[in-house]
Amino acid sequence: MNLSSHSPFSSKASQLLSWGHWFTFANIGLVLAITLSYLAADKAPTTVLGWLYMLVTWLSHTSFITFCVFVLSIFPLSLIFPYPRHIRGMAACIATLGITVLGVDAFVYFQLGYHLNLQALPEILSLFWKTISSSPAVNSLIVLAMIAAILGFELIVGNHAWRHLERLKSYSFPKVASTILVTCFASSHIMHIWADANSYFDITMQDNVLPLSYPTTAKTLLARHELLDMQEYNQARSLNVGPNEVNYHPPASLTSCPAQDAPVNLSIVKTLSEQTESQLIQLGWHGSEQLLAPTLSEDFRFNLLYGLPAYYKQSLMESKAPPVWSNRLSLSVSGLPKFDYINTVENADVRVSYSDQSPLITEQTPPTILIVEPNSSDIVTTTRFYTNIPAFSGHTGLIQVSDVMTTIASEHFQCSTLATASMLGNNVATDTLNEGVNYSRGVLVAYKKDRITLIAQDGSYKQISAKEGFTLDQKLDVPFLIQSIKRLKQFNQTPAVK
């Protein structure tokens, strides 16, 4: 094949290559506009250096990814199949597909906090279904209109660049723009290397914000969601990105509950004798050793009383605020000195008590839950509980302590709206996901089925099997952890209106 500079093939290929650069340059502008949504979805940097890094990374990374798509797709086609009209059409279709995928990823990231990935496919499909099904005709029309607009933009840009190629070649600003983008690309990587070496979290917390960028680590995940204790991380600089003040924002109003069922006794016991356990089994009580509980007694008891993670403990206990749900279901507490600020109500709907030994159990015992207080040197452990309340009998997986009060309110007292509005536990009678989140002694605790993930405030983490107790050597499930953190901080946002 004749590839001399005077051959028609070489001339067309050269023109298409020049056209491709302008076509890519126009798409860089469009992609830059779309990727602004990623920056808007996350917390803004708190330092000048963080803002500078965000700017140069946004410019360079976005441009680099767009250019790579051109090099890997349109450029080879221009050499193999150098027919301008066909190449412009194929390039417009390829660019439309790429921009559409980017737009979908941006939508998912804005709504869920993570990018398209197979691990979170059920959650992503659920998001799409909810979005489309809310107004099928209108939303489908909007999606089709946006795809058509992108395709129209690509065709117009491609044809305009081809028809005015000679005039465009005379412009000098692309050289300046290319120099700026290359400088930004080098600067962003140098800044990230420095920030990673010096634990400058206002920069590293931006990892994985843009698609196909640095992967998220446990440290950057905690830093982004303000759960990283900078003082406990030995090499950290003095940055104001540590945990902010936590405040529990209750719902603006609470719905009333229907006619009350029989009162429930929640008994925390230090030990259960084998004789008592045998008696409970003979009486047909449901028993489980899969109650996941913090080993710090104050956190454990707070979880049980409030139906909330200990993330909110300091805020509520310092203000001596009783559980919000107790405004609709009366509560009495005995044997728990640190919670004596909760006014005891006679004949309360929920009666929580602590004793060294279990109370007398007979066939006439009213609805009761017996929980053995956890005793371990770990952050969390599994402990035993027994109950004669039917709502718990069908659940065989892990149960969190906060799930106990949530299930009692939802199932026994038929106050599911109250439970959802004021607590963060799961209703184990209807829960099918078997996942939850807690926070004890500065450690984020998230579980999904049998896997428990513990992330400390210094960014270190481990994953263990709930049933067997051994360490699991698996990668962090970042999408699930982001969902867990969002759920943990649900009541640290502005009050919900009910």
DSSP 391-427: GGTT--S-EEHHHHHHHIIIIIS--HHHHHHH-----
- At 136, is the pLDDT very low, low, confident or very high (cuts 50, 70, 90)? confident
Contacts of 384 (CB under 8 A, 6+ apart): 272, 287, 288, 289, 291, 371, 372
Cα 376 from Cα 296, distance rounded (Å):
9
pLDDT at 426 over 80: yes
- At 413, is the pLDDT very low, low, confident or very high (cuts 50, 70, 90)? very high
- 111: number of Cβ within 10 Å: 15
Predicted pLDDT at 387: 95
Percent of the chain residues past pLDDT 70, beyond the cut: 89
Find the range with the poorest average confidence among 120-129, 138-147, 407-416: 120-129
Predicted pLDDT at 244: 56
Mean of the per-residue pLDDT values of the chain = 84
Within 127-270, strands assigned E span 264-269
In the chain, where the domains are located: 8-215, 264-492
Would you tell me the crossing angle of helices 8-41 and 48-69 to the nearest 10 degrees? 150
Answer whether 447's CB lies under 8 Å from 433's CB: no
Give me the helices (H) in 267-362, please.
274-282, 297-306, 313-318
Most confident segment among 143-152, 270-279, 340-349: 143-152
Cα 473 from Cα 175, distance rounded (Å):
49
Contacts of 216 (CB under 8 A, 6+ apart): 207, 208, 476, 478
Structure tokens at 87: 């190449």
Residue at token pair 């953190």: 485
Answer with the residue of higher pLDDT: 86 or 7: 86
Predicted pLDDT at 214: 63
Cα 1 from Cα 104, distance rounded (Å):
43
pLDDT tens by residue, 54-70: 999 999 999 999 989 88
Predicted pLDDT at 243: 47
- At 3, is the pLDDT very low, low, confident or very high (cuts 50, 70, 90)? very low
| Residue 354: DSSP 8-state | E
Predicted pLDDT at 35: 93
Predicted pLDDT at 130: 86
Q: What is the mean predicted confidence (pLDDT) over 157-185?
A: 85
Cα 422 from Cα 254, distance rounded (Å):
9
Answer with the residue of higher pLDDT: 235 or 347: 347
Answer whether 421's CB lies under 8 Å from 496's CB: yes
Percent of the chain residues past pLDDT 90, beyond the cut: 41
Find the range with the poorest average confidence among 305-314, 384-393, 448-457, 470-479: 470-479
Cα 424 from Cα 439, distance rounded (Å):
12
For 217: left if phi > 0, alpha if psi spans -120 to 50, otherwise beta; the answer is beta
Predicted pLDDT at 411: 93
In angstroms, the Cα distances linking 88 to 7, 10, 95, 148, 160 are 21, 18, 10, 16, 11
pLDDT at 241 over 60: no
Q: What backbone torsions phi and psi does residue 128 show, to the nearest 5 degrees?
A: -60, -45
Predicted pLDDT at 226: 65
Cα 366 from Cα 387, distance rounded (Å):
10
Predicted pLDDT at 223: 63
Structure tokens at 14: 């050269």
